[in-house]
Amino acid sequence: MDPGVYWYGAAGDAHTGVYWYDAPSSYPGAARVCYHANVHDDDPNTATGEQMINVPTLAANLHHVDAGGEQMINVPTLAANLHHVDAGGEQINTVVDDSISNNTLVHTVWRENCAEKFELVRDALRRPRRHLHIAVDMEFTADAATGVHHRPVTSPDCYDHVRRYANGGAIVQMGLAIAFVGDAQSFPSPPPIALEINFQLDVEAREYHPKTIKFLSDQGHDLTEHSKRGVEPHRVSDGLLRHLPFGDASVTWLAFHGDYDLAFLLRLLQSGGRSGNLLPSHLPTFLNQVREKFPMFYDVRVLGQLVKDGFTGSLTALAQHLGIQRNGGEHHAGSDALLTLSCFFKIFGGCQQHRLDARLGLLAGLEEWNMAIKCARHIDDHSTRITIIEVLQHNFHEEARRVEQLVPSNFDTIGVEVILHPQLIKRSYAVGAQKNYELMKTFLNDADSCEIIVTFINAEGMLAYGRAWKFCISYTADDNGYAHPRQFAQLMASCRATHYPAVSWVTFHGAHGVGSLIRSFLAPHALPVHWSSYIGHRRAFFPTIYDVSLIVDRCPDIMLPTTECKGDLLDVARALNLKAMEADKEAANVLLTLRCYMRLAQRPDFPNIAMAVQGLIKESCCWNGTTN
């Protein structure tokens, strides 16, 4: 037997139950790798010479930005304790020492000094560090065909507008503000670095939208200088961007109203600063690219909602609300990037981690029109009935379009229950993992159809769309309008619900239900012959999965009835003081499972318990009906 696979419990003993246990893999517990729309008015700050910044500790007030020449900025205090998750999922508390409060320069970059300035960043990146924060801001123009005053009303419409802007427009300035977080004992933090890179732009070479050109000029940008001295995009790509740590989950990327910023940046990365490589046509593809390049990204405009309800204002408005002074021109890339960095640390210092997790990777603009977020309701909200959407062949693609955006929108905890037809009946247990697995296969293979009920919540307990889905799956030719199992498998894979350790699946007595899911994922192939091979598939499909009944078993203070089952789902809910809520009968169990999970996750000992039971799945003891 696979040495990482164990059988736990007395076979045939109804009082102890039967556990299928595979030792936790390299993903211990629920640790996550810690992603709106008005037209983004982007424009550059063409200061000549160096910009001097006095950074007393990244996190309080951005003081003084001069319009030209040297700019003296007093950038905040980084906040005494930064809590972040490294690439391996480990929670790190880093104390920022006084070494960060050194004078630093905001470097204005033109063609004649770009090699020298890019080397400053490359050299700093080669030094030891614990964590890295990079704020980016773009100032850009649109081509003449872009409808700059278009106001989208849906997320796809919003992305289409962003895509047209980035594919047809041109970058005028890029601002980067980089904060290095070190360790006072091992390696002190080097001072922050800020660049304001002026791109080459010849407004006579092609037809740009006149209103965007006027806007740039009105902000004080001398576009003639960009034509004469601007840095070619391929120089920025080769000299700087290819050295930045894209795809590194230990790096926190920041922007304000970042949908346009990241769209321009992604196109620049894909093309290498040369022509071609347009952004993808479909929003989910774009969001996956964002996640790959920026696995830990926060849009500070979205985070503004944490300090001011319903915030949709400007960067300057947020800074004023936070008490961060801004004396400099708006829509200037270096200044905006620094102010974005400063606002982030001010918000970060007083925010609970789960509230940040719920907004990880969300892009302002796209987020504002995301109906999964706008229609979400808290899983404990008793005000209205939660409905279940039945998904058959005729409406599968319509519902799939909704589901595929959920994980990229941080609805990454998935409750699941599977109802098999015909339903399972009372059974006996065999001795040993392989024989019990063979019995399970027999029951699963006897089922000619199943109903897979899934719900998606985020770290704050918000239920996507305020609904659940019931996918009706048929394993036979006589499908009665049911969907094919491969359709469901492809949907789960395409939306990154499976094979992705940052997604947590939650069930209750879920051994047979998860087995049925794996049967669907492997169709038309049969379940593996050997138990150890089955466990390999389960680990691959569900890197992070929890059975609530096993979490409860490790909580000695939770008292359950001493029944044959050692407590069913309703017993657990009562022990946790959870009241029933209005929901369609078929959705009630999976919603209650998630509510129990969320309540258990509030326990101080939950991280240790979660690490111990991650990957274990429990059988139901009684088999008077379906698995709970």
| 59 has a pLDDT exceeding 50 | no
| 12 has a pLDDT exceeding 90 | no
pLDDT of residue 184: 55
Domain final position from 357, 387, 410: 357
| 624 has a pLDDT exceeding 50 | no
| 38 has a pLDDT exceeding 70 | no
Q: Which residue reads 């719900």 in tokens?
A: 455
Confidence of residue 566 (pLDDT cuts 50, 70, 90): low
| 6 has a pLDDT exceeding 90 | no
> Are 390 and 347 members of one domain?
no
Domain final position from 294, 329, 357: 357
pLDDT of residue 133: 94
Cβ contact 507:547 at 8 Å? yes
What secondary structure, in 3-state letters, does 166-228 show? HHHCEEEEEEEEEEEECECCCECCCCCEEEEEEECCCCCCCCECHHHHHHHHHCCCCHHHHHH
Whether 38 maps to a domain, the answer reads: no
Weakest-pLDDT range from 251-265, 362-376, 561-575: 561-575
pLDDT of residue 426: 52
> Are 68 and 201 members of one domain?
yes
Q: Give the contacts of 144 (CB within 8 A, at least 6 positions apart).
A: 207, 208, 209, 210
Whether 302 maps to a domain, the answer reads: yes
Mean pLDDT of 391-398: 96
- Average pLDDT over the chain, rounded to whole? 79
Q: Which residue reads 């929108």 in tokens?
A: 409
Cα–Cα distance between 401 and 408 in angstroms, integer?
A: 13
Cβ contact 197:357 at 8 Å? no
Per-residue pLDDT of 168-206, as tens digits, reads: 999 999 999 999 876 656 666 677 888 999 999 998 888
| 427 has a pLDDT exceeding 60 | no
Instruction: Single out the residue of 459, 299, 462 nearest to residue 374, CA to CA.
Output: 462
> Are 263 and 314 members of one domain?
yes
> Are 502 and 472 members of one domain?
yes
Confidence of residue 2 (pLDDT cuts 50, 70, 90): very low
> Are 100 and 24 members of one domain?
no
Per-residue pLDDT of 217-235, as tens digits, reads: 888 888 999 999 999 999 9
More confident residue, 555 or 36: 555
| HSE-up of residue 624 (Cα within 13 Å, Cβ side) | 5
Determine the longest span between alpha carbons in the chain, in angstroms. Answer: 83
Weakest-pLDDT range from 5-19, 248-262, 284-298, 423-437: 5-19
| 74 has a pLDDT exceeding 80 | no
More confident residue, 279 or 627: 279
> Are 220 and 314 members of one domain?
yes
| 547 has a pLDDT exceeding 90 | yes
Whether 624 maps to a domain, the answer reads: no
pLDDT of residue 431: 64
Whether 202 maps to a domain, the answer reads: yes
The residue range of the domain holding 525 is: 5-31+376-618
Whether 250 maps to a domain, the answer reads: yes
Whether 367 maps to a domain, the answer reads: no
Q: What are phi and psi of 229, to 5 degrees?
A: -120, 0
> Are 257 and 298 members of one domain?
yes
> In 144-172, which positions are buried (b, 16+ CB within 10 angstroms) versus exposed (e)?
eebebeeebeebbebbbbbbbbbebbbbb
DSSP class of residue 431?
Answer: S
| 564 has a pLDDT exceeding 80 | no
CATH (domain of 447) = 3.30.420.10
Whether 329 maps to a domain, the answer reads: yes
| 55 has a pLDDT exceeding 80 | no
pLDDT of residue 559: 86
Cα–Cα distance between 61 and 324 in angstroms, integer?
A: 4
Cβ contact 273:236 at 8 Å? yes
> In 418-432, which positions are buried (b, 16+ CB within 10 angstroms) versus exposed (e)?
bbbeeebeeeebbee
Weakest-pLDDT range from 428-437, 492-501, 601-610: 428-437
Weakest-pLDDT range from 14-28, 82-96, 188-202, 406-420: 14-28
Per-residue pLDDT of 302-313, as tens digits, reads: 999 999 988 989
> Are 352 and 388 members of one domain?
no
Cα–Cα distance between 277 and 382 in angstroms, integer?
A: 49
Number of helices (H) and strands (E), helices first, in the chain?
21, 21
Cβ contact 451:488 at 8 Å? no
| 60 has a pLDDT exceeding 60 | no
Instruction: Single out the residue of 138, 410, 141, 135 nearest to residue 259, CA to CA.
Output: 138
The angle that helices 485-494 and 396-403 make with each other, rounded to 10 degrees, is: 20
| 95 has a pLDDT exceeding 90 | no
What is the sign of the dihedral through the CA atoms of 161, 163, 167 and 173?
A: positive
pLDDT of residue 42: 35
pLDDT of residue 231: 96
Mean pLDDT of 472-498: 91
pLDDT of residue 507: 96
| HSE-up of residue 620 (Cα within 13 Å, Cβ side) | 21
| 584 has a pLDDT exceeding 90 | no
| 602 has a pLDDT exceeding 90 | yes
Q: Give the contacts of 300 (CB within 8 A, at least 6 positions apart).
A: 254, 255, 256, 315, 318, 340, 343, 344, 347
Weakest-pLDDT range from 200-204, 329-333, 342-346: 329-333
| 28 has a pLDDT exceeding 70 | no
Whether the model clears a pTM of 0.95, i.e. scores above it, the answer is no
Determine what percent of the chain is predicted with pLDDT higher than 70: 78
Torsion, Cα 294 297 299 302, to 10 degrees, reads: 130
> Are 216 and 269 members of one domain?
yes
| 65 has a pLDDT exceeding 80 | no
> Are 81 and 174 members of one domain?
yes
> Are 118 and 252 members of one domain?
yes
pLDDT of residue 186: 63
Mean pLDDT of 337-360: 89
pLDDT of residue 308: 92
Mean pLDDT of 578-597: 86
| 258 has a pLDDT exceeding 90 | yes
Q: What are phi and psi of 471, to 5 degrees?
A: -85, 120
Torsion, Cα 584 587 591 593, to 10 degrees, reads: 130
More confident residue, 96 or 556: 556
pLDDT of residue 269: 94
Whether 628 maps to a domain, the answer reads: no
| 607 has a pLDDT exceeding 80 | yes
| 76 has a pLDDT exceeding 90 | no
Mean pLDDT of 591-604: 95
Domain final position from 302, 327, 357: 357
Structural domains counted in the chain: 2
pLDDT of residue 21: 30
| 69 has a pLDDT exceeding 50 | no
| 75 has a pLDDT exceeding 80 | no
> Are 310 and 388 members of one domain?
no
